[in-house]
Structure 1
């Protein structure tokens, strides 16, 4: 799962016993060599789906990490792209990674997605792989924050994978991980919030609607289908 340039087991353990912010500061130099980085096939599929929805002028990558999602925004936004994350380490790696990137202009902002430091400045907000860091009770506030930074008619777009079947090894691996994290967070502070099975499709649609979004979803064909014919991954398109 990890390249030779990725973190050691000890480094991952130290990260998991830290706060979320400190953990990602520690992981940042090696993050792009882990399976936690969103795969290129997902990024490319989202960029392809976004192209006919544009053109967009200003885009925001919410919880941008080292900036893989900013490449998606650069492909579809004509004037500016912004990455927001609360890990200074991840932002520093992202800035270094993007030094040779061309237009549009890029900004890197340290901040909390639950209290966005922007007005209604964006036509498009995307996010990749970050929602496990938010507890279900935080979704209403999170989605309200996103809507507040979108211009009228702006879009909040992100992929969401189909949940693994209960008879699959992945289901039990993710369930086991979530259980371990709950135990860890019950006995140790600060918490490290990262769960794989709490961001559920039905809950997401409901809370986006309550936040005032008009919501549609579509399959991402490049990511394939499950044996029952359902998509392995869908793209959520929420319009403000």
Structure 2
């Protein structure tokens, strides 16, 4: 399950007994050698599905971790990309991986690759105004309880310019009684027991993020939502896609390619917090 460079069982135990923030600080140096890191196959599939909708001016990776999704954004956005995460340790690793090339003014140097910024912050209280044309997120929604989704989606809505898009992949739920069904049920059950008896809690549930609930909360936040099948992952026996990309659009007339790549909101947030 883990490569030799990944964390030991003892290290994982210590991390699981910590808070989400501190646990990921501890895990950060070895995170890319664990199954918790979103596979490149998913990242590449989402990038290909988003390409016809762009190009975009400015993009945000929500709960960016060590920056795997930032690499997708750098291919899609022409001016700037930002990653926000609550873990300083994960941001440090991500900054090293992507070799942050943002100039002091925050502009893309020489008109080439987009400028890159890293922001330490809570996804439930994003420090941005309407600064982005595209927000993506990969594998992070298990860290949010169902009653936190309205606030989370409202924050993303506020961070997008009119016409901007919020995109993320979702997998079809495993068939009831299948090995994956029991594995995920068992994991969530263990985490519930752990959080019932230990503080601080470590919120990570694989079965709480249900597509029907997500679509309802996105609509309440003001998004118009579409589902795009990711054909790379095939279909189940019932014909349903094994994986989809959710694309939630903030209604408005602004072109999603962006008309103001120098929006001061992203400059201020990236410059004042961990740029």
* TM-score of the superposed pair, with normalisation by structure 1: 0.98
1:214 aligns with 2:224: yes
Indicate conservation of the 8 Å contact 1:125/1:150, yes or no: yes
Indicate conservation of the 8 Å contact 1:41/1:223, yes or no: no
1:153 aligns with 2:163: yes
Residue in structure 2 matched with residue 85 of structure 1 by the alignment: 85
1:174 aligns with 2:180: no
1:44-64, Cα deviation, whole Å (9 max, x unpaired): 000001110011000000000
Matches within 5 A, 1:222-237: 222-237=232-247
Matches within 5 A, 1:1-240: 1-99=1-99, 103-240=113-250
Length, aligned pairs only: 240
* TM-score of the superposed pair, with normalisation by structure 2: 0.86
Unpaired segments ≥5 residues, structure 2: 102-111, 251-275
User: What is the root-mean-square deviation in Å for CA atoms of aligned residues?
Assistant: 1.0
Instruction: Give, in angstroms, the shift of residue 227 of structure 1.
Output: 2.2
Instruction: Give, in angstroms, the shift of residue 226 of structure 1.
Output: 1.6
1:123-156, Cα deviation, whole Å (9 max, x unpaired): 0000000000000000000000000000000000
Unpaired segments ≥5 residues, structure 1: none
**Stretch moving more, 220-229 or 181-190:** 220-229
Indicate conservation of the 8 Å contact 2:85/2:120, yes or no: yes
Give the distance between the partners of 2:213 and 2:35, measured in 1 at CA: 26
Give the distance between the partners of 1:172 and 1:94, measured in 2 at CA: 33
Indicate conservation of the 8 Å contact 1:134/1:194, yes or no: yes
Instruction: Give, in angstroms, the shift of residue 239 of structure 1.
Output: 0.2
Instruction: Give, in angstroms, the shift of residue 100 of structure 1.
Output: 7.3
| Partner-residue secondary structure (3-state), 2:190 | helix
Q: Larger relative CO (CA 8 A, sep 6+): 1 or 2?
A: 2
Q: Would you identify which runs of 4 or more consecutive aligned residues in structure 1 move more than 3 Å?
A: none
